[in-house]
Protein backbone atom coordinates (compact mmCIF):
# COMPACT_ATOMS: atom_id res chain seq x y z
CA UNK A 1 0.00 0.00 0.00
CA UNK A 2 1.42 3.36 -0.98
CA UNK A 3 2.84 5.36 1.89
CA UNK A 4 0.92 8.56 1.08
CA UNK A 5 -2.34 6.75 0.73
CA UNK A 6 -2.00 5.06 4.08
CA UNK A 7 -0.97 8.28 5.80
CA UNK A 8 -4.17 9.97 4.71
CA UNK A 9 -6.22 7.51 6.74
CA UNK A 10 -3.79 7.54 9.63
CA UNK A 11 -4.22 11.30 9.90
CA UNK A 12 -7.99 10.95 9.82
CA UNK A 13 -7.68 8.35 12.57
CA UNK A 14 -5.85 10.87 14.72
CA UNK A 15 -8.72 13.36 14.48
CA UNK A 16 -11.30 13.59 17.22
CA UNK A 17 -14.43 11.66 16.26
CA UNK A 18 -17.82 12.13 17.95
CA UNK A 19 -18.13 10.32 21.27
CA UNK A 20 -20.71 7.78 20.05
CA UNK A 21 -18.22 6.78 17.33
CA UNK A 22 -15.73 5.20 19.74
CA UNK A 23 -16.33 1.63 18.56
CA UNK A 24 -16.66 2.80 14.98
CA UNK A 25 -13.25 4.43 15.20
CA UNK A 26 -11.74 1.35 16.83
CA UNK A 27 -13.01 -0.72 13.93
CA UNK A 28 -11.59 1.78 11.44
CA UNK A 29 -8.21 1.71 13.11
CA UNK A 30 -8.32 -2.08 13.30
CA UNK A 31 -9.00 -2.38 9.57
CA UNK A 32 -6.30 0.18 8.89
CA UNK A 33 -3.77 -1.81 10.92
CA UNK A 34 -4.68 -4.98 9.06
CA UNK A 35 -4.46 -3.18 5.70
CA UNK A 36 -1.15 -1.46 6.34
CA UNK A 37 1.26 -4.28 5.47
CA UNK A 38 -0.63 -5.25 2.32
CA UNK A 39 -0.32 -3.82 -1.17
CA UNK A 40 -2.93 -1.22 -2.16
CA UNK A 41 -6.32 -2.44 -3.22
CA UNK A 42 -9.47 -0.48 -4.03
CA UNK A 43 -11.71 -2.72 -1.95
CA UNK A 44 -9.83 -1.99 1.26
CA UNK A 45 -9.92 1.68 0.35
CA UNK A 46 -13.70 1.45 -0.02
CA UNK A 47 -14.05 -0.09 3.42
CA UNK A 48 -11.88 2.55 5.03
CA UNK A 49 -13.76 5.30 3.20
CA UNK A 50 -17.02 3.89 4.49
CA UNK A 51 -15.85 4.35 8.08
CA UNK A 52 -14.60 7.84 7.35
CA UNK A 53 -17.70 8.89 5.43
CA UNK A 54 -20.08 8.03 8.25
CA UNK A 55 -17.99 9.89 10.80
CA UNK A 56 -17.58 12.86 8.46
CA UNK A 57 -21.30 12.91 7.79
CA UNK A 58 -21.94 13.40 11.46
CA UNK A 59 -19.30 16.11 11.78
CA UNK A 60 -20.56 17.94 8.69
CA UNK A 61 -24.25 17.63 9.52
CA UNK A 62 -25.26 15.19 6.78
CA UNK A 63 -28.12 12.99 7.91
CA UNK A 64 -27.17 9.37 8.65
CA UNK A 65 -29.69 6.63 7.96
CA UNK A 66 -29.19 3.17 9.42
CA UNK A 67 -30.35 0.24 7.30
CA UNK A 68 -29.99 -3.52 7.43
CA UNK A 69 -27.66 -5.85 5.58
CA UNK A 70 -30.28 -6.87 3.06
CA UNK A 71 -31.04 -3.53 1.50
CA UNK A 72 -28.90 -1.57 -0.92
CA UNK A 73 -28.17 2.08 -0.08
CA UNK A 74 -28.92 3.53 -3.53
CA UNK A 75 -32.05 5.44 -2.64
CA UNK A 76 -30.26 6.96 0.34
CA UNK A 77 -27.38 8.13 -1.82
CA UNK A 78 -29.91 9.52 -4.27
CA UNK A 79 -31.43 11.49 -1.40
CA UNK A 80 -28.10 12.88 -0.26
CA UNK A 81 -28.06 10.85 2.94
CA UNK A 82 -25.20 8.92 4.49
CA UNK A 83 -26.12 5.23 4.74
CA UNK A 84 -24.90 3.19 7.68
CA UNK A 85 -25.33 -0.55 7.32
CA UNK A 86 -26.02 -1.74 10.87
CA UNK A 87 -24.54 -5.21 10.58
CA UNK A 88 -21.11 -3.73 9.86
CA UNK A 89 -20.89 -3.90 13.65
CA UNK A 90 -21.67 -7.53 14.27
CA UNK A 91 -19.77 -8.69 11.20
CA UNK A 92 -16.82 -6.36 11.68
CA UNK A 93 -16.43 -6.93 15.40
CA UNK A 94 -16.84 -10.71 15.32
CA UNK A 95 -13.27 -11.63 14.21
CA UNK A 96 -11.84 -9.60 17.09
CA UNK A 97 -14.30 -11.10 19.61
CA UNK A 98 -15.52 -7.58 20.22
CA UNK A 99 -19.16 -8.52 19.73
CA UNK A 100 -19.07 -10.54 22.85
CA UNK A 101 -19.13 -7.70 25.42
CA UNK A 102 -22.12 -6.17 23.61
CA UNK A 103 -23.87 -9.52 23.47
CA UNK A 104 -23.26 -9.86 27.19
CA UNK A 105 -24.74 -6.42 27.87
CA UNK A 106 -27.74 -7.31 25.71
CA UNK A 107 -28.17 -10.50 27.73
CA UNK A 108 -27.84 -8.60 31.00
CA UNK A 109 -30.55 -6.13 30.12
CA UNK A 110 -32.76 -9.00 29.09
CA UNK A 111 -33.15 -8.70 25.36
CA UNK A 112 -33.13 -12.13 23.79
CA UNK A 113 -30.73 -15.01 23.83
CA UNK A 114 -28.72 -16.67 21.16
CA UNK A 115 -31.14 -19.38 20.01
CA UNK A 116 -34.05 -16.92 19.92
CA UNK A 117 -32.77 -13.71 18.32
CA UNK A 118 -29.91 -13.53 15.86
CA UNK A 119 -26.66 -11.93 16.94
CA UNK A 120 -26.37 -10.21 13.59
CA UNK A 121 -28.51 -7.52 15.18
CA UNK A 122 -28.56 -8.14 18.92
CA UNK A 123 -25.15 -6.55 19.72
CA UNK A 124 -26.67 -3.27 18.52
CA UNK A 125 -28.83 -3.16 21.62
CA UNK A 126 -25.85 -3.64 23.94
CA UNK A 127 -23.85 -1.06 22.01
CA UNK A 128 -26.78 1.36 22.15
CA UNK A 129 -27.08 0.84 25.90
CA UNK A 130 -23.36 1.59 26.25
CA UNK A 131 -23.59 4.66 24.03
CA UNK A 132 -20.97 3.15 21.77
CA UNK A 133 -22.85 2.99 18.50
CA UNK A 134 -23.13 5.96 16.15
CA UNK A 135 -26.60 7.39 16.64
CA UNK A 136 -28.24 7.61 13.23
CA UNK A 137 -30.77 10.31 12.43
CA UNK A 138 -33.11 7.90 10.70
CA UNK A 139 -33.78 4.18 10.70
CA UNK A 140 -35.00 1.99 7.88
CA UNK A 141 -35.69 -1.71 7.69
CA UNK A 142 -37.71 -4.39 5.95
CA UNK A 143 -40.02 -7.11 7.20
CA UNK A 144 -37.73 -9.67 5.57
CA UNK A 145 -35.76 -11.86 5.68
CA UNK A 146 -36.36 -12.67 9.33
CA UNK A 147 -38.23 -11.88 12.51
CA UNK A 148 -34.97 -11.39 14.43
CA UNK A 149 -34.16 -8.40 12.29
CA UNK A 150 -37.66 -6.92 12.49
CA UNK A 151 -37.73 -7.42 16.26
CA UNK A 152 -34.34 -5.96 17.04
CA UNK A 153 -34.91 -2.93 14.83
CA UNK A 154 -38.22 -2.31 16.62
CA UNK A 155 -36.46 -2.52 19.97
CA UNK A 156 -33.68 -0.24 18.80
CA UNK A 157 -36.23 2.25 17.49
CA UNK A 158 -38.00 2.18 20.83
CA UNK A 159 -34.77 2.63 22.84
CA UNK A 160 -33.20 5.29 20.64
CA UNK A 161 -36.39 7.09 19.62
CA UNK A 162 -35.29 7.43 16.02
CA UNK A 163 -37.79 8.21 13.22
CA UNK A 164 -38.25 4.94 11.39
CA UNK A 165 -39.66 3.66 8.15
CA UNK A 166 -40.45 0.05 7.44
CA UNK A 167 -41.17 -1.63 4.11
CA UNK A 168 -43.24 -4.77 3.95
CA UNK A 169 -41.84 -7.48 1.72
CA UNK A 170 -44.69 -9.61 0.48
CA UNK A 171 -44.44 -13.26 1.24
CA UNK A 172 -44.17 -15.61 -1.67
CA UNK A 173 -46.61 -18.37 -2.37
CA UNK A 174 -45.00 -20.91 -4.63
CA UNK A 175 -45.86 -20.59 -8.27
CA UNK A 176 -42.94 -21.39 -10.56
CA UNK A 177 -44.74 -19.73 -13.46
CA UNK A 178 -44.58 -16.32 -11.82
CA UNK A 179 -41.33 -14.49 -11.26
CA UNK A 180 -42.81 -12.06 -8.79
CA UNK A 181 -45.73 -13.78 -7.11
CA UNK A 182 -48.48 -11.96 -8.95
CA UNK A 183 -49.29 -8.87 -10.93
CA UNK A 184 -49.64 -6.69 -7.86
CA UNK A 185 -46.29 -7.35 -6.27
CA UNK A 186 -44.21 -4.89 -8.22
CA UNK A 187 -46.70 -2.09 -7.75
CA UNK A 188 -46.95 -2.91 -4.06
CA UNK A 189 -43.24 -2.58 -3.49
CA UNK A 190 -42.94 0.49 -5.72
CA UNK A 191 -45.75 2.21 -3.80
CA UNK A 192 -43.99 1.57 -0.53
CA UNK A 193 -40.67 2.80 -1.91
CA UNK A 194 -42.39 5.97 -3.06
CA UNK A 195 -43.83 6.32 0.44
CA UNK A 196 -40.29 5.91 1.73
CA UNK A 197 -39.16 8.77 -0.49
CA UNK A 198 -42.00 10.99 0.73
CA UNK A 199 -41.07 10.14 4.29
CA UNK A 200 -37.42 10.97 3.62
CA UNK A 201 -38.44 14.27 2.02
CA UNK A 202 -40.46 15.11 5.11
CA UNK A 203 -37.78 14.06 7.58
CA UNK A 204 -34.87 15.70 5.77
CA UNK A 205 -36.74 18.65 4.28
CA UNK A 206 -35.07 17.85 0.96
CA UNK A 207 -36.81 17.53 -2.35
CA UNK A 208 -36.43 14.28 -4.24
CA UNK A 209 -34.22 14.95 -7.25
CA UNK A 210 -35.46 12.86 -10.17
CA UNK A 211 -32.35 13.36 -12.29
CA UNK A 212 -30.08 12.39 -9.44
CA UNK A 213 -32.18 9.29 -8.82
CA UNK A 214 -31.98 8.29 -12.48
CA UNK A 215 -28.22 8.69 -12.45
CA UNK A 216 -28.03 6.61 -9.27
CA UNK A 217 -30.04 3.86 -10.93
CA UNK A 218 -27.80 3.94 -14.00
CA UNK A 219 -24.74 3.44 -11.80
CA UNK A 220 -26.52 0.77 -9.80
CA UNK A 221 -27.40 -1.21 -12.88
CA UNK A 222 -23.94 -0.89 -14.35
CA UNK A 223 -22.60 -2.41 -11.15
CA UNK A 224 -25.25 -5.14 -11.23
CA UNK A 225 -24.17 -6.05 -14.73
CA UNK A 226 -20.58 -6.37 -13.57
CA UNK A 227 -21.61 -8.55 -10.63
CA UNK A 228 -23.73 -10.82 -12.78
CA UNK A 229 -20.85 -11.26 -15.20
CA UNK A 230 -18.58 -12.01 -12.27
CA UNK A 231 -21.11 -14.59 -11.01
CA UNK A 232 -21.07 -16.28 -14.40
CA UNK A 233 -17.29 -16.37 -14.47
CA UNK A 234 -17.31 -18.34 -11.21
CA UNK A 235 -18.89 -21.25 -13.04
CA UNK A 236 -15.48 -21.96 -14.55
CA UNK A 237 -13.49 -24.92 -13.24
CA UNK A 238 -11.21 -24.15 -11.53
CA UNK A 239 -12.95 -21.20 -9.98
CA UNK A 240 -10.99 -18.12 -11.05
CA UNK A 241 -11.13 -16.54 -7.60
CA UNK A 242 -10.80 -17.61 -4.02
CA UNK A 243 -13.62 -18.10 -1.53
CA UNK A 244 -13.94 -14.45 -0.52
CA UNK A 245 -14.38 -12.65 -3.84
CA UNK A 246 -18.14 -12.88 -4.13
CA UNK A 247 -18.45 -11.65 -0.56
CA UNK A 248 -16.56 -8.58 -1.67
CA UNK A 249 -19.13 -7.95 -4.38
CA UNK A 250 -21.90 -8.19 -1.82
CA UNK A 251 -20.15 -5.65 0.40
CA UNK A 252 -19.65 -3.31 -2.53
CA UNK A 253 -23.34 -3.44 -3.39
CA UNK A 254 -24.61 -3.10 0.16
CA UNK A 255 -22.21 -0.30 1.06
CA UNK A 256 -21.78 1.57 -2.21
CA UNK A 257 -24.62 0.47 -4.51
CA UNK A 258 -25.76 3.34 -6.71
CA UNK A 259 -22.42 5.15 -6.73
CA UNK A 260 -19.62 5.34 -9.31
CA UNK A 261 -17.43 3.59 -6.72
CA UNK A 262 -19.55 0.47 -7.00
CA UNK A 263 -19.24 0.50 -10.79
CA UNK A 264 -15.48 0.86 -10.57
CA UNK A 265 -15.06 -1.78 -7.88
CA UNK A 266 -17.34 -4.41 -9.41
CA UNK A 267 -15.56 -3.89 -12.71
CA UNK A 268 -12.31 -4.49 -10.87
CA UNK A 269 -13.52 -7.79 -9.35
CA UNK A 270 -15.07 -8.89 -12.65
CA UNK A 271 -11.94 -8.09 -14.66
CA UNK A 272 -9.79 -9.94 -12.18
CA UNK A 273 -11.97 -13.05 -12.45
CA UNK A 274 -12.13 -12.74 -16.26
CA UNK A 275 -8.36 -12.48 -16.56
CA UNK A 276 -7.92 -15.58 -14.45
CA UNK A 277 -10.46 -17.53 -16.48
CA UNK A 278 -8.66 -16.53 -19.64
CA UNK A 279 -5.35 -17.71 -18.23
CA UNK A 280 -6.85 -20.83 -16.62
CA UNK A 281 -5.71 -19.70 -13.20
CA UNK A 282 -7.63 -20.98 -10.20
CA UNK A 283 -8.32 -18.85 -7.15
CA UNK A 284 -7.33 -21.86 -5.06
CA UNK A 285 -4.26 -23.73 -6.26
CA UNK A 286 -4.98 -27.30 -7.33
CA UNK A 287 -8.74 -26.99 -6.73
CA UNK A 288 -10.21 -30.34 -5.64
CA UNK A 289 -13.52 -29.56 -3.96
CA UNK A 290 -16.15 -26.97 -4.87
CA UNK A 291 -18.41 -25.99 -2.00
CA UNK A 292 -21.83 -24.34 -1.97
CA UNK A 293 -22.30 -22.32 1.21
CA UNK A 294 -25.97 -21.32 1.24
CA UNK A 295 -25.66 -19.33 4.41
CA UNK A 296 -23.51 -16.56 5.82
CA UNK A 297 -19.85 -16.80 6.70
CA UNK A 298 -18.77 -17.83 10.18
CA UNK A 299 -17.76 -14.25 10.80
CA UNK A 300 -15.71 -14.79 13.92
CA UNK A 301 -13.44 -17.21 12.06
CA UNK A 302 -11.96 -15.19 9.24
CA UNK A 303 -9.41 -17.89 8.53
CA UNK A 304 -11.98 -20.61 7.93
CA UNK A 305 -12.04 -20.27 4.15
CA UNK A 306 -8.27 -19.96 3.80
CA UNK A 307 -8.01 -23.04 6.06
CA UNK A 308 -10.37 -24.94 3.76
CA UNK A 309 -8.41 -23.80 0.75
CA UNK A 310 -5.06 -24.74 2.22
CA UNK A 311 -5.96 -28.05 3.81
CA UNK A 312 -8.52 -29.44 1.39
CA UNK A 313 -7.93 -27.45 -1.79
CA UNK A 314 -11.57 -26.56 -1.39
CA UNK A 315 -13.02 -23.43 -2.86
CA UNK A 316 -16.27 -22.00 -1.57
CA UNK A 317 -17.88 -20.56 -4.65
CA UNK A 318 -20.31 -18.17 -3.02
CA UNK A 319 -21.96 -17.78 0.34
CA UNK A 320 -25.62 -16.76 0.44
CA UNK A 321 -24.86 -13.06 0.81
CA UNK A 322 -22.25 -13.22 -1.92
CA UNK A 323 -24.99 -14.59 -4.12
CA UNK A 324 -26.03 -11.11 -5.24
CA UNK A 325 -28.20 -12.06 -8.15
CA UNK A 326 -29.94 -8.97 -9.48
CA UNK A 327 -29.83 -8.46 -13.22
CA UNK A 328 -29.34 -5.03 -14.73
CA UNK A 329 -32.44 -3.28 -16.01
CA UNK A 330 -33.58 -0.64 -18.40
CA UNK A 331 -33.36 2.75 -16.67
CA UNK A 332 -34.54 4.92 -19.54
CA UNK A 333 -37.61 6.25 -17.74
CA UNK A 334 -38.44 7.12 -14.17
CA UNK A 335 -40.98 4.29 -14.07
CA UNK A 336 -38.34 1.82 -15.22
CA UNK A 337 -36.01 3.15 -12.54
CA UNK A 338 -38.59 2.48 -9.84
CA UNK A 339 -39.21 -0.97 -11.23
CA UNK A 340 -35.50 -1.68 -11.11
CA UNK A 341 -35.32 -0.39 -7.54
CA UNK A 342 -38.21 -2.66 -6.53
CA UNK A 343 -36.72 -5.73 -8.18
CA UNK A 344 -33.45 -5.04 -6.39
CA UNK A 345 -35.37 -4.81 -3.12
CA UNK A 346 -37.14 -8.12 -3.71
CA UNK A 347 -34.07 -9.97 -4.98
CA UNK A 348 -31.35 -8.58 -2.74
CA UNK A 349 -28.98 -11.10 -1.14
CA UNK A 350 -30.86 -13.36 1.28
CA UNK A 351 -34.18 -11.58 0.60
CA UNK A 352 -34.58 -13.20 -2.81
CA UNK A 353 -33.87 -16.67 -1.46
CA UNK A 354 -35.60 -16.43 1.91
CA UNK A 355 -38.64 -14.18 1.64
CA UNK A 356 -40.77 -16.94 0.21
CA UNK A 357 -41.63 -20.58 0.66
CA UNK A 358 -39.05 -23.33 0.97
CA UNK A 359 -39.03 -23.86 -2.79
CA UNK A 360 -37.36 -20.51 -3.35
CA UNK A 361 -34.46 -21.48 -1.15
CA UNK A 362 -34.35 -25.04 -2.48
CA UNK A 363 -34.56 -23.95 -6.13
CA UNK A 364 -31.75 -21.48 -5.57
CA UNK A 365 -29.61 -24.17 -3.98
CA UNK A 366 -30.29 -26.80 -6.63
CA UNK A 367 -29.67 -24.33 -9.43
CA UNK A 368 -26.50 -23.14 -7.77
CA UNK A 369 -25.17 -26.66 -7.21
CA UNK A 370 -25.76 -27.54 -10.86
CA UNK A 371 -24.57 -24.27 -12.41
CA UNK A 372 -21.42 -24.07 -10.34
CA UNK A 373 -20.60 -27.80 -10.50
CA UNK A 374 -20.52 -28.10 -6.76
CA UNK A 375 -19.28 -31.20 -4.91
CA UNK A 376 -20.87 -30.62 -1.51
CA UNK A 377 -22.95 -28.20 0.52
CA UNK A 378 -22.04 -26.75 3.91
CA UNK A 379 -24.61 -24.86 5.98
CA UNK A 380 -23.32 -23.41 9.25
CA UNK A 381 -26.63 -22.00 10.50
CA UNK A 382 -27.17 -19.46 13.26
CA UNK A 383 -29.26 -21.14 15.97
CA UNK A 384 -31.84 -18.34 15.90
CA UNK A 385 -32.20 -18.36 12.13
CA UNK A 386 -35.62 -20.00 12.00
CA UNK A 387 -36.31 -19.15 8.39
CA UNK A 388 -33.33 -21.15 7.16
CA UNK A 389 -32.83 -23.68 9.94
CA UNK A 390 -36.44 -24.83 9.77
CA UNK A 391 -36.10 -25.79 6.08
CA UNK A 392 -32.45 -26.89 6.04
CA UNK A 393 -33.43 -30.53 6.30
CA UNK A 394 -35.90 -30.20 3.41
CA UNK A 395 -33.20 -28.50 1.35
CA UNK A 396 -30.60 -31.14 2.13
CA UNK A 397 -33.02 -33.92 1.17
CA UNK A 398 -33.71 -32.17 -2.13
CA UNK A 399 -30.00 -31.84 -2.87
CA UNK A 400 -29.28 -35.44 -2.01
CA UNK A 401 -32.25 -36.78 -3.95
CA UNK A 402 -31.95 -34.63 -7.06
CA UNK A 403 -28.20 -34.27 -7.35
CA UNK A 404 -26.74 -36.84 -5.01
CA UNK A 405 -24.13 -34.77 -3.27
CA UNK A 406 -23.67 -34.60 0.50
CA UNK A 407 -24.83 -31.77 2.74
CA UNK A 408 -23.53 -30.74 6.15
CA UNK A 409 -25.91 -28.82 8.41
CA UNK A 410 -24.30 -27.55 11.56
CA UNK A 411 -25.59 -25.12 14.17
CA UNK A 412 -23.42 -22.27 15.39
CA UNK A 413 -23.38 -18.57 16.07
CA UNK A 414 -21.36 -16.86 13.33
CA UNK A 415 -21.06 -13.76 15.52
CA UNK A 416 -20.01 -15.30 18.83
CA UNK A 417 -17.30 -17.94 19.06
CA UNK A 418 -18.32 -18.91 22.58
CA UNK A 419 -21.36 -20.87 21.40
CA UNK A 420 -19.58 -23.26 19.09
CA UNK A 421 -15.87 -22.56 18.84
CA UNK A 422 -13.89 -22.52 15.68
CA UNK A 423 -12.19 -25.83 16.49
CA UNK A 424 -15.54 -27.60 16.72
CA UNK A 425 -16.84 -26.12 13.48
CA UNK A 426 -13.62 -26.95 11.67
CA UNK A 427 -13.65 -30.44 13.17
CA UNK A 428 -17.15 -31.07 11.85
CA UNK A 429 -16.26 -29.75 8.42
CA UNK A 430 -13.01 -31.71 8.28
CA UNK A 431 -14.82 -34.91 9.23
CA UNK A 432 -17.51 -34.22 6.62
CA UNK A 433 -14.98 -33.55 3.88
CA UNK A 434 -12.66 -36.43 4.67
CA UNK A 435 -15.23 -39.08 5.59
CA UNK A 436 -18.02 -38.26 3.16
CA UNK A 437 -16.98 -35.93 0.38
CA UNK A 438 -13.49 -37.05 -0.56
If binding means CB under 8 A, how many residues of this protein chain bind another protein? Answer: 45
> Counting contacts by CB under 8 A, is residue 255 touching another protein?
no
> Counting contacts by CB under 8 A, is residue 151 touching another protein?
yes
In the complex with another protein, the residue whose CB is nearer, 246 or 396, is: 396
Tell me the three state secondary structure of residue 77. helix
Q: Stretches 84-92, 163-171, 277-285, 400-408: which one binds another protein (CB under 8 A)?
A: 163-171
Tell me the three state secondary structure of residue 289. strand
> Counting contacts by CB under 8 A, is residue 123 touching another protein?
no
Q: How far apart are CA 194 and CA 214, in angstroms?
A: 14
Residues 110/140, Cβ–Cβ less than 8 Å: no
Task: Please select the residue that binds another protein; options are 10, 15, 195, 310, rule is CB under 8 A.
Answer: 195
Q: What are the DSSP E strand ranges found in 77-223?
A: 82-85, 138-142, 164-167
Task: Please select the residue that binds another protein; options are 19, 108, 191, 434, rule is CB under 8 A.
Answer: 191
> Counting contacts by CB under 8 A, is residue 296 touching another protein?
no
Q: Identify the CA nearest to 263 among candidates 226, 231, 212.
A: 226
Task: Please select the residue that binds another protein; options are 111, 213, 293, 325, rule is CB under 8 A.
Answer: 111
Q: Identify the CA nearest to 68 among candidates 324, 337, 345, 279.
A: 345
Q: How far apart are CA 412 and CA 151, in angstroms?
A: 21
In the complex with another protein, the residue whose CB is nearer, 27 or 146, is: 146
Q: Stretches 128-136, 165-173, 261-269, 302-310: which one binds another protein (CB under 8 A)?
A: 165-173
Task: List b or e across 91-115, with b for residues whose CB sees 16 or more CB atoms inside 10 angstroms.
Answer: bbbbbeebbbbbbebbeeeebbebe
x/- letters, 348..387, toward another protein (CB under 8 A)? ---------xx----------------------x-xx-xx
Q: Stretches 51-59, 190-198, 323-331, 366-374: which one binds another protein (CB under 8 A)?
A: 190-198
Q: Stretches 44-52, 113-121, 130-138, 287-295: which one binds another protein (CB under 8 A)?
A: 113-121
> Counting contacts by CB under 8 A, is residue 400 touching another protein?
no
Q: How far is CA 251 from CA 236, 319, 362, 370, 430, in A?
A: 23, 12, 24, 25, 28
Q: Stretches 70-78, 105-113, 276-284, 369-377: which one binds another protein (CB under 8 A)?
A: 105-113
> Counting contacts by CB under 8 A, is residue 391 touching another protein?
yes
Residues 99/126, Cβ–Cβ less than 8 Å: no
DSSP state of 355: S
Q: Identify the CA nearest to 166 among candidates 183, 184, 151.
A: 151
> Counting contacts by CB under 8 A, is residue 392 touching another protein?
yes
> Counting contacts by CB under 8 A, is residue 184 touching another protein?
yes
> Counting contacts by CB under 8 A, is residue 26 touching another protein?
no
Amino acid sequence: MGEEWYKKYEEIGMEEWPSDFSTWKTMFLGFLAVAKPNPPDPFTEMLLDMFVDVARARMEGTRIIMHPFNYGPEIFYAMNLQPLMQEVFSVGLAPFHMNEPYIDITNQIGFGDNPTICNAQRPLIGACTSGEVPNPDLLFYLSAPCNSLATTYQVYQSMAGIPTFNVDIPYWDYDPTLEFYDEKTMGYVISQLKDLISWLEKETKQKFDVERFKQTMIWLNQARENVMEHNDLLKAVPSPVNSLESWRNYLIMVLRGGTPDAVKLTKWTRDYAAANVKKGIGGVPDEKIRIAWPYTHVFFDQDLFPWLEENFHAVTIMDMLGYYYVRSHDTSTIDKCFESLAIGTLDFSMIGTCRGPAEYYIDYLLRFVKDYKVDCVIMPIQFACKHVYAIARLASEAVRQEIGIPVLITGCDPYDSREVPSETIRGRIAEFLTQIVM
